Amino acid sequence: MKAKLAIKDAGRTCPLGGPRYTRDGGFRFPSSGRPLHPMQIRVLFFGALKEVIGRSTETIDLPKGARVDDLLAHYAGRFPRFGALRPSLAVSVNEEYSPLTRMLAAGDEVGVLPPVSGGGPDAVAAGGKAALLGEIQIVREPISSSAILDRLKRPEDGAAVVFEGVVRENTRGRRTLHLDYEAYEPMALKEMKSLAEQARERFRVAGISIVHRLGRLQIGETSVLIVVTSAHRGAGFDACRWIIDTLKKTVPIWKKEYFEDGAVWADGEPFPEKMKQPGDTAGQQPASK
């Protein structure tokens, strides 16, 4: 679906002194009045934002010189609920977290991300670094924890720390029937690989595997598995705790909880301070927690 950026303040100059918005949502150069051929941007919505906007993706026309914050202002003007959520959102451009001041280019893919809920085996190799022992996966079938642990353990390891996130049957006093998980998959894999690389450097551990499942999960099934192997248990425990705590805040994966009396997207944790974008309203609380 394609949309045109409609601005209520007709005649306003676009970012960086460019063309002016017209009342029909088009753009014209201020001097000549010639029509501007806008650039097309693909916008992706996830989690609860899909229900706010009414779709998961659309293509929008923006004038040259438009920035990320112009795009967000457009949606805040169209959808009041989006405006309420805006302080808690993060934005990606071409699968990387991005500041609101970033200038957009034709063909960019912008992901608008609410706070996150928290192929075969693939060795991590990022930025030309040596491959990390372990596997980073997003799967849709049940996770075999024992098999993944067995593939990672080596004779020189003195500790193997395993964390499993399991679907529980009760959330805040409401009986849970099942969960649905979705992700911005290419970006989620990049973020998971980055976490593994950071954990190796930070805690000096030997091996790391991170596996997250998507789709429909039943009570008792594993949604996320983290395995860390190390020479000593202290480093393994610290790395495993840091990975899951950070993953729940930064990796773009969301869950929808289904109860006997309805369904709701799970409240996410606020994005870390380093991901809070310039221009956010200081002191405002996230719209969902």
Exposed/middle/buried for 132, CB within 10 Å: 0-12, 13-18, 19+?
buried
Joined tokens for residue 202: 């930070």
The pLDDT value recorded for residue 281 is 37
pLDDT at 284 over 80: no
23 pLDDT above the threshold of 80: no
Residue among 68, 64, 48, 65 at smallest CA distance from 56: 48
Instruction: Select the more confidently predicted residue: 263 or 17.
Output: 263
Output the CA torsion sign for 184, 263, 225, 202.
positive
Query: Can you read off the two tokens belonging to residue 255?
Result: 């869950």
Does residue 227 carry a pLDDT above 50? yes
Residues 6+ apart with CB under 8 A from 77: 6, 7, 8, 83
Q: Are strands 2-4 and 57-62 parallel, antiparallel or unpaired?
A: parallel
- Structural domains of the chain sorted by starting position, each given as residue range(s) with its CATH number in brackets: 2-113 (3.10.20.30), 136-265 (3.90.1170.40)
Token pair listed for 77:
């003007």
Ranked by mean pLDDT, which of 26-40, 60-74, 216-230 comes out on top? 216-230
Measured CA to CA, the distance from residue 57 to residue 1 in angstroms comes to: 7
Please report the pLDDT score of residue 223 as a whole number: 96
Which among 202, 195, 289 is positioned nearest to 251, based on CA atoms? 195
The pLDDT of residue 171 is 80
* Length, in residues, of the chain: 289
Q: Measured between alpha carbons, how far is 219 from 163 in angstroms, rounded to an integer?
A: 17
Sort residue 95 into left (φ over 0), alpha (ψ -120 to 50) or beta. left
Tell me how far CA of residue 26 lies from CA of 17, 41, 104, 161, in angstroms: 16, 15, 17, 57
What's the confidence (pLDDT) of residue 130?
43
**Token pair in block for residue 46:** 């996830």
Whether pTM > 0.75 for this model: the answer is: no
- Which string of DSSP letters, residue by residue, matches 183-215? E-HHHHHHHHHHHHHHHHHHH--SEEEEEEE-E
Q: CA triplet 265, 238, 197: central angle to 5 degrees?
A: 75
What does the pLDDT look like over 136-169, one tens digit per residue? 999 999 999 999 999 999 998 999 999 999 999 9
Residue found under tokens 């918005």? 21
39-45 and 57-62 strand pairing: antiparallel
pLDDT tens digits, 177-199: 999 999 999 999 999 999 999 99
